[in-house]
Amino acid sequence: LTQRLQNAFNGLKRKGKVSESDVRDAMREIRLALLEADVNFDVVKEFVKTVRERAVGTEVLNSLTPAQQIVKIVHDELVKVMGDAAVPLNKSPHIPTVIMMVGLQGAGKTTTAGKLAKRLVDQEKARPLMIAADIYRPAAVDQLVTIGQQLDVPVFEMGTDHDPVEIVKQGLAQAAENKNDYVIIDTAGRLEIDEQLMQELSNIKALAQPNEILLVVDSMTGQVATQVAEGFNQQLDITGVVLTKLDGDTRGGAALSIRTVTGKPIKFVGQGEKLDALDVFYPDRMADRILGMGDMMTLIEKAQTDYDQEQAENMARKIQENDFDFNDFVDQMSQIQNMGPLDEIMKMIPGMANNPALKNVKMDPKDIDHIKAIVYSMTPKERRDPDLLNPSRRRRIAAGSGRSVQEVNRMIKQFKQSRDMMTKMSKGNMNGMENMFGS
Ligand code: GDP
Ligand code: MG
């Protein structure tokens, strides 16, 4: 996909100026990209139409970097459609706020109920009560009870022999008695939408008057997710969506489809099986993801212009052969300096934004100059071999470069971290590196 977009944009770039037909070509690629991300077909059609109208006749045509501008328009439009900002949970003016989880079997309702409870406890010191209203699978009740025990959050259950509406009724009574501030109702799902399920959910809704009906959707289900969302929304008038399993390799196109088709906000995303793996939904991050590989488009553009290909290949080889030394470090710093703010660049690389190795690495252009000064104060031998750098050498280098010994130490540590990180990256994802710096 990335390759495809890249080709389209290379085409644009070589010609310097963009014609209407160029924009149309790029839009065709974006259309395919969205389809590959599993965005619903009709949604794609509509989206591309909107973007094309916006793109043609704007400065894109005369822009110095048309590719960047087109990507930006596409990106902005994705963000706009998906809702601009994160939408918080609806709250009741009086306790308890009632949240009802609905969705197909296996979507992640029970897990997400637990994640939400944990979140509310952690962030608001809330005292939620969870109600086990899935009576069709004995394991479902046990599952919620176990989660409750893990979190130290009470679970109301009556086994599997009572009507779910009755269970919810008694659960709400208990919540009132115990003054719980939140009630989270875990309901049953089916393998697909059916009449009986919807009737049951409607009955629970009528009784519980939830402030929030969260539809839980498995993001891996791709195209199906759209129909599911439409169905549930028609029957229950949901108030929000939780998109689960985004830790998988899906590109998350369902987010765009569901938002477009239901008009309801996606409020949270599930990023793992653990109970802390629930995050607020940020439309701009999802736009990055749907377009593929972070802001890779922009990065590739920049990298292509500013990074010498031969040098890139050289670097890739050195990293692979574990032959990366201070000279390369400085080379790389200079190249990166030319590309723009370093922390910005790093953030565009998928997986880098949250990379713990980067947390403590300060990215300031001045730092890069200091790093260079330090390296230039090393002897050629020292530049080749960091292990030579004993305390007395470090003191000498500090004096020579006008930096403090601490700074020299820090920089050597950074160098080592950087080298380790790149070795890891190159082992895991050589293609990624080549995409980044090369071709
Ligand atoms: P329910 O039938 O809708 O209640 O779904 P469950 O909560 O029982 O989840 C079904 C399966 O999906 C379980 O194995 C969960 O651990 C898993 N699951 C739920 N949410 C996520 C998620 O965000 N990421 C991953 N990887 N697995 C999830
Ligand atoms: Mg369940």
Task: Indicate whether 35 and 172 sit together in one domain.
Answer: no
Q: Which atom of ligand 1 is nearest to the CA of 105?
A: 2
Residue where a domain stops, chosen among 251, 269, 291: 291
What is the reported pLDDT for 237?
97
CATH at 11:
1.20.120.140
What is the reported pLDDT for 135?
94
Q: Is 246 annotated as a binding residue?
A: yes
What is the reported pLDDT for 123?
93
Ligand 1 centre and the CA of 436: distance in Å?
34
Q: Is the dihedral of CA 303, 308, 310, 314 positive or negative?
A: negative
Indicate if ligand 1 lies below 6 Å from the C-beta of 292: no
Report every protein residue that has its C-beta within 5 angstroms of ion ligand 2: 109-110, 140
Q: Is residue 90 part of a domain?
A: no
Q: Is residue 134 part of a domain?
A: yes
Task: Indicate whether 30 and 167 sit together in one domain.
Answer: no
Q: Which atom of ligand 1 is nearest to the CA of 104?
A: 3
Task: Indicate whether 14 and 69 sit together in one domain.
Answer: yes
Domain that holds residue 422: 296-437
Q: Is 417 annotated as a binding residue?
A: no
CATH at 431:
1.10.260.30
Pairing of strands 128-133, 266-270: unpaired
What is the reported pLDDT for 209?
97
Cβ contact 258:222 at 8 Å: no
Q: Is residue 341 part of a domain?
A: yes
Q: Which atom of ligand 1 is nearest to the CA of 186?
A: 4
* Whole-structure pTM value: 0.67
Q: Is residue 380 part of a domain?
A: yes
Ligand 1 centre and the CA of 106: distance in Å?
6
Ligand 2 centre and the CA of 266: distance in Å?
20
Sole residue written with tokens 């190795």: 357
Atom 19, ligand 1: which residue's CA is nearest? Answer: 108
Atom 9, ligand 1: which residue's CA is nearest? Answer: 108
Q: Is 244 annotated as a binding residue?
A: yes
Q: Work out how many domains the chain is built from and give that number.
A: 3
What is the reported pLDDT for 9?
55
Ligand 1 centre and the CA of 244: distance in Å?
7
Task: Indicate whether 243 and 371 sit together in one domain.
Answer: no
Taking the CA of 108 as reference, the closest ligand is 1
Q: Is residue 405 part of a domain?
A: yes
Mutation choice for ligand 1 from 102, 111, 191, CB with most ligand atoms inside 8 A: 111
Residue where a domain stops, chosen among 234, 269, 291: 291
Mutation choice for ligand 1 from 147, 273, 281, CB with most ligand atoms inside 8 A: 273
Task: Indicate whether 361 and 337 sit together in one domain.
Answer: yes
Q: Is 432 annotated as a binding residue?
A: no
Task: Indicate whether 320 and 387 sit together in one domain.
Answer: yes
Q: Is residue 309 part of a domain?
A: yes
Q: Is residue 88 part of a domain?
A: no
What is the reported pLDDT for 365?
67
Task: Indicate whether 184 and 145 sit together in one domain.
Answer: yes
Task: Indicate whether 285 and 306 sit together in one domain.
Answer: no
Task: Indicate whether 281 and 301 sit together in one domain.
Answer: no
CATH at 105:
3.40.50.300
Q: Tens digit of pLDDT per residue, the chain (439 long)?
A: 455 555 555 555 444 445 576 677 677 777 877 888 889 989 999 998 888 887 766 654 443 456 566 777 888 888 999 987 889 999 999 999 999 999 999 999 999 999 999 999 999 999 999 999 999 987 999 999 999 999 999 999 999 999 999 999 999 999 999 999 999 999 999 888 889 999 999 999 999 999 999 999 999 887 889 999 999 999 999 999 999 999 887 888 999 999 999 999 999 999 999 999 999 998 988 888 887 744 444 444 444 444 445 556 666 666 666 677 887 777 777 666 665 555 555 555 544 545 555 544 545 667 778 888 888 888 888 888 888 899 999 999 998 888 999 999 988 888 887 777 766 665 554 444 444 433 3
What is the reported pLDDT for 277?
93
Q: Is residue 92 part of a domain?
A: no
Q: Which atom of ligand 1 is nearest to the CA of 216?
A: 3
Residue where a domain stops, chosen among 82, 115, 145: 82
Indicate if ligand 1 lies below 6 Å from the C-beta of 279: no
DSSP 173-242: HHHHHHT-SEEEEEE---SS--HHHHHHHHHHHHHH--SEEEEEEEGGGTHHHHHHHHHHHHHH---EEE
Q: In what order do the strands lie in the sheet with 266-270?
A: 155-156, 128-133, 182-187, 97-102, 212-218, 240-244, 266-270, 278-280
Ligand 2 centre and the CA of 155: distance in Å?
14
Task: Indicate whether 264 and 372 sit together in one domain.
Answer: no
Task: Indicate whether 266 and 303 sit together in one domain.
Answer: no
Task: Indicate whether 392 and 410 sit together in one domain.
Answer: yes
